[in-house]
Structure 1
Amino acid sequence: MVRQPTMEASRQKVLSSPGNGNGAVKKSPLDADFGAFAEGALRRWHVPGISVAVVDGDSTWAEGYGIANFPSSPVTPSTLFYMGSTTKAFTAAVTSLLIDSGKYSSSQDSSPLSWQTPISHLIRDDFVLQEGYEWPAAHLTLEDALSHRTGFPRHDKALASFAGPDKHPSTVRDVVRSLRYLPMATEPRVTWRYCNLMFMVVSHVIQTLTGQWLGATMRERIWEPLGMNGTFLSVEEALGTPGIEVARGYYWDYFGVSQDKKVDDGSTGLDEGANEEGKGGFVEVPFSSLDVASGAGGVVSNVLDYARWIRCLINEDDCTVLPKEAHRELKAARTVLSPDSAKGYDAPLAYSLGWLLGTYKGHRVFTHGGGMEAHGAEVYFFPDLKYGVVTLANTAVTSNIAGMELAWKLINDRIGVPEEGRFDWAAKSQKTLDEQLQLADTAIEKLYPDRADPPLPLALPLQNYVGKYFHPAYQTVTIELVDGDSSSEKGKKKGELKAVRADMEWQMVFEFRHVSGEFWAMVIDFLNTPNMLNGQLARAEFVVGVKGTVDKLRIEFLEDGSEGVIVFDRI
């Protein structure tokens, strides 16, 4: 098992305003028993380290557990992590401040900026949609974009690192201009559909209106007034700031395929989950730039700063950084999620502006998670209880699993929920984890349950499918043959074709497994964290033209449901 630093070495307590108003001192919930529970969660879920902050009335406590950077640098409350989609709340908050200022207006009719201002009235030349989407292009508003009700799916795999004929580093403006090539999944305002790109659209709107970088606006209007001096919208800026430590990201090698990359984790034998085949062990992940992530997921911060942020949101009367109207608007429900979202809560969740909201045991709760390639964040706050929890950790997916387990233990303890009345977040997470680890092996059955048996042969020799295929938003997919020597890795079946997408913001590998005729199952995994926890599936079809050559590649990406059929032309 991984040797974590001792509690004394790894833990730094922060206690501010310890009184409860009557002279008594509150006891920290982050005591030795909780520390043992946290370290157990790190081992169970294969997470190097995690930091936790709790806000309760006038008190704030924060602790760090485990490893920020191997072999021995411990997590402290000051350690910075990628915050992922918890960034969205800041983007919405900045928008509310621009609206409240009364200084900005629609370029079309000069009406004051509001949540109902159409995006096309603010960035007309850039916000152009496909033919047939004239109504959404004219009517989608800031409120629509920030509440995930535009009808656009994720399209995260269309985020290119470079754009334009000159191949300049992509900007949020480039992301906005790519929308003209992307299909919607539903009609606008019909259902909740998570879309990072729309928060990038609003980031471009903010930068256009203010004339400055979004990170500067966030710092000027929110972070500095709240004393959030360890918060950045640039990992490069964070890494270059003296006295700041950013936690390295890691992934756990479940399949034993990264033997030469594993870090020295200080263990003295096989780690938990390792076996005689060499499975198990942590692998370091390089720091990722956050320029394009911007207001959708670009923040780097720590639990101490986020405790200040949720304290502001809890104590509306005392937090003048956000005016009363902003507090009300940011927390008002805009869209209802599916019934499945009720698991663990009293009823299905809703989405406001950068926050999920619902009730738990009769208490109103706001929450949002964040995930990057190798980091995860969980944020919760209960306004009526004046209570909140933040967790940050340094793996993908399992950081959020461990964070939820720790956060809900603290929440249930605070409310006084008996053990038998607590939702089993660990069991739910384990089921999800098991399904992800089996995703590649079950891909064909999941995607094509009614496939031909026996399958029809390909129309052409396999080599004829190799080549480059292009889509103006999703860019180039370069298909190559899978090396015969690596077609079987540790006994696991592999595809016949693959495409390495190293020139995209989310670097991925597309693996093609033949199903029948020209139809293929695609298994998608992240290039820098190849353990399938972020794995996805897609359906693919090669189109053979009248000349007997492969002319097109049609892919239906399936992250959170169908993202529409994307047609790549052979080039």
Structure 2
Amino acid sequence: MPYHAGVTHLGHGDISIVYNEVEDALYFKHPAFDSKQEQYHFEMFKVVLSMFMIAWAAGVQFETGADEMVRSLTLIESEYWETLFEKFPNPTFSMQTPPTSPSDPSAKIDLSGLSAILDAARIKNGVPGMSVAVMYKGEVIFAEGFGKRNEHQPFTKETISPIGSLTKAITSTAIGELVAEGKMDWDETPVNKYLPEFELKDPVLTSQLTMADLLSHRTRLSPAVGLSWLRSRTPRRELIARLRHASMPQKLTPKFNYSNVMYAVAGEAAANVAGTTYEQLVHDKILTPLGLTNTGFSQKAMKKLENHASPYHADSFSKAQAGEFRGGEYDEIYMAFAPAGDLHSNVLDLLKWGKVVVDGGKVGGGEGKQVLSKEGVEMTVTPQSIVRPKRTPEMSISFTYGLGWGLATYKGRNCYTHSGAYPGSSANLTLFPDDDLIIAQLANIHPTELTLYADYFIADKILNLPSYSTSTQQDWLFDEAVKATAKEYEVLEEEREGKGLPARVEGTMSALPREDMVGQFVNPLYGVITIARVIPHKDERKEDEEEGLEFRYNEYTNKMEHYHYETFKTVLEDLGVAEARLVSFEAGSDGHVAGLSINFEEPDLVRFVKVKTPITTTVSEKEG
């Protein structure tokens, strides 16, 4: 059969099947591959696709027309991934070649095939859309988008998406500008002097905590306090004022204790000193001077931008790998802890930002203009707390944290890195300052570890770093990232199902009447929980279906399921991220419900006191 010809597929480039008369063999040629084919059976051939020390087997199935001539082929790379290539009459083929100009810093960097392998990794890791950009020695040597940003449009290098906790380094750097102006300091003045609303239960600790303590995650505030800030419409200053009810160990240590809340406090303190809002402070000190025109605050504002990514999640990792995604909507509620994670951007702006950090606050390279305080930028990448004391083959003896940056060495190279995550989006930015290498990535799904491990893969390629794997290959994209992402999905499912909750006692009933559980319950630190009655709409009510209870907290509204005795289970869910909680009602001396306890601070319970007459109006699950 005359197999040899050119075939093409929109979006996947061109393939040529070439016959070698000397070897009497067929060769599979693509801009990323050049592999010999082996006949498997009938019209099916086996080909090994090899790239960047990574190899995998694929099948090439030829299809013929009525004239018994080859009309197309299907490339079969996995159980879920088959791509049809249609034959065209005049085959052409070209290999990607690296730049040859001696002045081009990428002249010796061969990135041919990088696009193909990143897109393959995207599919293998269950990512609907992503963008990747690389800057090396001041030049953007790679910037592309892959997959879809929504149901119809492609994810491009210009596509804008939430960057989550990459916001933290920008917050710290903005504060560094106020330090340079003499309006604040890092480690001497208590935060309370900058923001009087910030008090803790312990007045001694209130008098000790500094900006550096908050920005380096070395306070010991319970992470559970952050739940009261999620999807809350309460003003930031009011939420901060509630912290006077928060208990914390008095002793400060260099031990890492991640806290979005403390970043919000730091950002608000800086805004108070500057006499403006936090958002305006960042615009004035960072975004405008650096020309980050594609970067801004608020998901509500981002949704108005034409080229923004829609958020996705999947019910399981296997469904994500099969491309079975569920779309969602970004939250239009203001983000209370905006200084910790409210910015959106694209990979091109992230490269600009990373380059300024690498150059110590200069714009335009080493000979450029000093736009940001050199001392302020350097402070953000100075170790402050210990994240992980254990050594791994690739990483340094310890992984530390500066002020918004994770600091380590990767295979002997200094690096600054941070990831960002929000329901339906992921981000990562890694800087290799000594090598002048910056890698930025965005994806419109959470969870995924591809945005982290692809940084390692790209750094290995560009910096020619060795493999430290015990096997012959170190497969960051198709092995390490896949395993790590699968684990993330497992953890999310465990949290949804309530792994670790007390065993359910079957066959029990509550001694308290449901109507007595209805009402508002208050905790001075965590705010208000409302328990409401739910009466199914007459058109939706199932036979013998009873009234239910609904758990309302901030802007979360979730059904409650009887667990045992006076305890109910509810699941706080936001675009695929869910956590099961147990709500236990308590009776007072009069026999009526007086409060409830919920496992916010596991293993400790947080108690809410009933303070209002029970709600008597019914709540329908169907409007109208």
The normalised TM-score by structure 1 is 0.77
8 A contact 1:153–1:185 mirrored in 2: no
- In 2, distance between residues paired with 1:471 and 1:343? 47
8 A contact 2:583–2:598 mirrored in 1: yes
Equivalent of residue 379 in structure 1, options 405, 429, 453: 429
8 A contact 1:49–1:75 mirrored in 2: yes
Match of 2:122 in 1: 42
Which has the larger displacement, 403-412 or 59-68? 403-412
- In 1, distance between residues paired with 2:222 and 2:588? 30
Equivalent of residue 420 in structure 1, options 473, 490, 501: 473
- In 1, distance between residues paired with 2:124 and 2:494? 19
8 A contact 1:341–1:348 mirrored in 2: yes
How big is the shift at 1:282? 2.5
Match of 2:88 in 1: none
Cα 1:171–1:340 change in 2 (3 A) is farther
Paired residues, what number?
494
8 A contact 1:455–1:517 mirrored in 2: no
Question: What is the aligned-residue identity percentage?
Answer: 23
1:149-164 matches, within 5 Å, as: 149-154=218-223, 155-159=225-229
Equivalent of residue 390 in structure 1, options 436, 440, 443: 440
Equivalent of residue 207 in structure 1, options 271, 283, 291: 271
How big is the shift at 1:51? 0.8
**RMSD between aligned alpha carbons?**
3.5
Match of 1:409 in 2: 457
- In 2, distance between residues paired with 1:341 and 1:373? 31
8 A contact 1:342–1:349 mirrored in 2: no
- Larger strand percent: 2
2:178 is equivalent to residue 98 of structure 1: yes
Q: Secondary structure at the match of 1:420?
A: coil
Equivalent of residue 68 in structure 1, options 149, 155, 172: 149
Match of 1:327 in 2: 377
Cα 1:30–1:368 change in 2 (3 A) is farther
Structure with the greater relative contact order (CA < 8 A, sep ≥ 6): 1 or 2? Answer: 1
Deviations 1:116-154 (A, max 9, x none): 220111112x11223xx1112121111111011121123
- In 2, distance between residues paired with 1:343 and 1:460? 57
Cα 1:25–1:161 change in 2 (3 A) is closer
2:614 is equivalent to residue 543 of structure 1: no
Match of 1:134 in 2: 203
2:470 is equivalent to residue 470 of structure 1: no
Cα 1:5–1:540 change in 2 (3 A) is farther
Match of 1:234 in 2: 298
Equivalent of residue 195 in structure 2, options 123, 130, 135: 123
- In 2, distance between residues paired with 1:255 and 1:513? 29
- In 1, distance between residues paired with 2:195 and 2:426? 32
1:433-452 matches, within 5 Å, as: 433-441=489-497, 443=498, 446-448=500-502
Q: Secondary structure at the match of 1:176?
A: helix
Q: Structure 1 runs of 4+ off > 6 angstroms?
A: 18-21, 452-456, 481-485
In structure 2, the gaps of 5 or more residues are 1-8, 14-97, 538-547, 613-624
8 A contact 2:128–2:325 mirrored in 1: no
Cα 1:209–1:227 change in 2 (3 A) is same
Match of 2:598 in 1: 555
- Larger helix percent: 1
Cα 1:179–1:21 change in 2 (3 A) is farther
Equivalent of residue 311 in structure 2, options 228, 243, 249: 249
The normalised TM-score by structure 2 is 0.71
Cα 1:408–1:64 change in 2 (3 A) is same
Cα 1:81–1:137 change in 2 (3 A) is same
Match of 2:3 in 1: none
8 A contact 2:126–2:320 mirrored in 1: no
Bigger Rg over Cα: 2
8 A contact 2:550–2:557 mirrored in 1: no
Which has the larger displacement, 170-179 or 338-347? 338-347
Cα 1:240–1:440 change in 2 (3 A) is closer
Equivalent of residue 332 in structure 2, options 270, 288, 308: 288
In structure 1, the gaps of 5 or more residues are 9-17, 106-112, 163-168, 257-269, 275-279, 486-495
